[in-house]
Amino acid sequence: MSRMSRDEGFPEFVRARRTHLRRIAYAVCGDWHRAEDLTQTALTKLYVAWPRVSRDGREEAYTRTIIVRANLDEHRRPWRRESVGLPEVERAAREPFPVEERSALFDALQALPVMQRKVVVLRHWLGLSVAETAHELRISQGTVKSHSHRGLDALRSTLEAGADSRPRPGGA
């Protein structure tokens, strides 16, 4: 089919079937606004496929399939799962560690072997992935994991030992 016949046949189909297709979309999604969006999406995709689809006379079946699939795609999108309303995601900033705890953490980090320190800082302070850390340090991902594990264990032991030796508030 030529472009001229697409431009002639498609508008005629839309005029004749748009209301019916919108009702189908409403039956699929249960919301008139989303039904309008689904109908528009389906008609846009139908226009692109019009020469191929109209040859066989299966325009409406093709459009119904697009409506159903577009509705499924919308439900699968992550932003659809976000809640409506004011987000409670905005948490208050975490209270900074007291100076003595920050100093203890810094001292414990400095006590780590150089490579463990680099891995711990890149992975857990800067939040790089294992692959990014491996690439940055030019070591394997397995090495990043083992250095991270050993480094965190050493930090934990050092900080727990330091916490046990500090005086407790209130005497005792």
Express each pLDDT in 79-120 by its tens digit. Answer: 554 555 545 555 455 566 677 777 888 888 888 898 898 888
User: What domains appear along the chain, each with residue ranges and CATH number?
Assistant: 3-79 (no CATH), 99-165 (1.10.10.10)
- Which residue type is seen at 70? A
Q: pLDDT (tens digit, 9 = 90+) per residue, 2-56?
A: 454 667 789 999 999 999 999 998 888 888 999 999 999 999 999 999 988 888 8
User: CB burial class (10 A; 0-12, 13-18, 19+) of residue 158?
Assistant: middle
Q: In whole angstroms, what is the distance from residue 150 CA to residue 95 CA?
A: 27
Three-class SS of residue 143?
helix
Amino acid (one-letter) located at 133:
T
Give me the DSSP letters along 17-59: HHHHHHHHHHHHHS-HHHHHHHHHHHHHHHHHHHHHHHHHT-H
Which of 51-65, 91-105, 120-134 is predicted with the least confidence, judged by mean pLDDT?
91-105
CA distance 128 to 28: 43
- CB–CB of 10/64 below 8 Å? no
Give the C-alpha separation, 96 to 160, whole Å: 19
- CB proximity list for 88: less than 8 A, separation 6 or greater: none
Alpha carbon distance 144, 136 (integer Å): 11
Mean pLDDT of 160-169: 66
pTM for the model = 0.44
Residues 143 and 116: beta-carbon distance below 8 Å? no
- What pLDDT score was predicted for residue 172? 47
